[in-house]
Every structure is written in C-alpha cells, then in structure tokens.
Amino acid sequence: MTELLYNFNSYIKEFEAKVIESSNNEIILDQTAFYPGGGGQPCDIGKISSDEFNIDIVKVFSKDNVVIHSTESNILPPAGTMIKGAINWERRYKLMRTHTAAHILCGVIFRDYGASVTGGNMQPLSARMDFELSNITADFVQNVEILINKEVLASHNIQIGSLSRNEALKIPSLIRTKVNLIPASVTQIRTIDIVGLDLQADGGTHVNNTSEVGNIKVVGHESKGKINKRIRISLEQ
C-alpha cells in the first residue's frame, strides 16, 4: 500500500521516497505526493530523480491501493533506490483551484435549488458539472455565477477530514454524493468541508481557502436530458 502524502496536505510540491518496484515503464514508491486521478480530477505529472536518474512521470494511476507512476523511459531506478519526486506544481495548483470551484458550485446549487450533482469532469482552470435540474435558463446561470463568486469572496476555510463509513452514511450532504456506492471494504471516508457551505466525500486535492480560487465565470450551460443539466465554468489564470 502506498502512503498518500497529498491526502492531508495538498501543498506538498516535492518529497522523498523509496522505490519499491520498477518494471515495464512503471514505478511504485513507498509514498507519493502524486495524485493518481479520480473524482473528475486528472492525475498529476512531474519528475522523479536521483543521483543517476531524471525521469518524467507522464501518468499516475491507482490499482489495488498502490499508486503507479508511469514513464516513457526504459531506464528505471531499481528497487531500494531513494528518489526525489516533484509534481508539476503550476498544473496541480490550477487543478486544486478548479476542484474547489466545482465544490463551491455544487454547494450553491444544492443549498439554493436542492439539486444533486450527477457527474462532472475538469481540466486545469475549467470544469463541467451535471445536476438533477429540469430547467435551466440564461438568467438562472447568471444568478448562479453571482452566488458562487460571493462564496469565493466569503473566504471559507477548507478542511480535510475523515469519517467512519457509518458516520458518513448518516450525513445527508454526503449521501447525495453517493457514499453508499463506495465499496463496503472502505471503512474510512475522506471528506472535504468548505466550512459553512459544502461537505462532500472526496479524494482529490483542494486549496485551503475559497479566496484562492479567484473569479469564476459560468461559460456555458446545456441540457443533457429531461432532468439532467450541465453547467460549464472557467477560472482566471
């Protein structure tokens, strides 16, 4: 099992680790700050280096509780090698801001319109979220843009937490994010709490305060079905 350094500190840019296994253009470390992707957030990219190696990490994914770092290099550090890892911080920080912006949007839509999120995806500084809404208009999304930016300016702190599965299932705001669909083998649920606005089960990386997100623009909306409407947002550089 890989120790996930990002789980309780999204601001780790560089770290040291030991190579556990390396083969077929893939490296497994005892610990990592590379996010392997999930919840709509893409994986991190970056570099792994030592005195003898300097390797670009082009993809990261998780399998059986192990984080696998993929590279195009055929020359890999052998097991036991101590390495330094460095994520592409500029890209990661944009994704942190974007992921938090998506949670702000979800929190506002749920609080003010009672609509749950049905799906979503993101890239650095842009995201789309789908909601259980039967109707959506230009006036609606214009008002949503005003509301979400009020929450940005409110400077809500963002806290990472953990709840037992039983505790999590008792919280309606977590049930709406389908905690009940998480495999029964998962006994602890990681949570992201935008204090005073939104609490969700989430495995991704976020900023510490909503003020870091910056101005959010609603750049599009569309119908994806009778009760499924999509809202697209973008962030400033």
Per-domain boundaries in the chain? 3-87, 92-235
On the question of a common fold for 3-87 and 92-235, the answer reads no
Distance CA 191, CA 1 (A): 20
Distance CA 174, CA 121 (A): 19
In 3D space, the residue among 159, 54, 61, 142 whose CA is nearest the CA of residue 103 turns out to be 159
pTM for this one? 0.94
In 3D space, the residue among 193, 211, 223 whose CA is nearest the CA of residue 106 turns out to be 193
At residue 88, what is the residue type? N
Residue with tokens 């963002």: 158
Distance CA 52, CA 12 (A): 24
H, E, C per residue of 75-88: CCCCCCCEEEEEEC
Distance from chain centroid for Cα 42: 8
Distance CA 9, CA 13 (A): 10
pLDDT at position 185 is: 73
- Write down the H helix ranges in the chain: 89-113, 138-153, 165-169, 172-175
Distance CA 214, CA 38 (A): 23
At residue 23, what is the residue type? S
pLDDT at position 94 is: 98
CB-CB contact of 198 with 105 (8 Å): no
pLDDT at position 183 is: 67
Topology of domain 3-87 in CATH is: Elongation Factor Tu (Ef-tu); domain 3 (2.40.30)
Question: b/e map of 100-111 (b: 16 or more CB within 10 Å)?
Answer: bbbbbbbbbbbe
pLDDT in tens, the chain (237 residues): 999 999 999 999 999 999 999 999 999 999 999 999 998 999 999 999 999 999 999 999 999 989 999 999 999 999 999 999 999 999 999 999 999 999 999 999 999 999 988 889 999 999 999 999 999 999 999 999 999 999 999 999 999 999 998 888 788 777 555 555 566 777 888 999 999 999 988 999 999 999 999 999 999 999 998 889 999 999 998
pLDDT at position 178 is: 52
Task: State the CATH class of domain 92-235.
Answer: alpha beta
pLDDT at position 19 is: 98
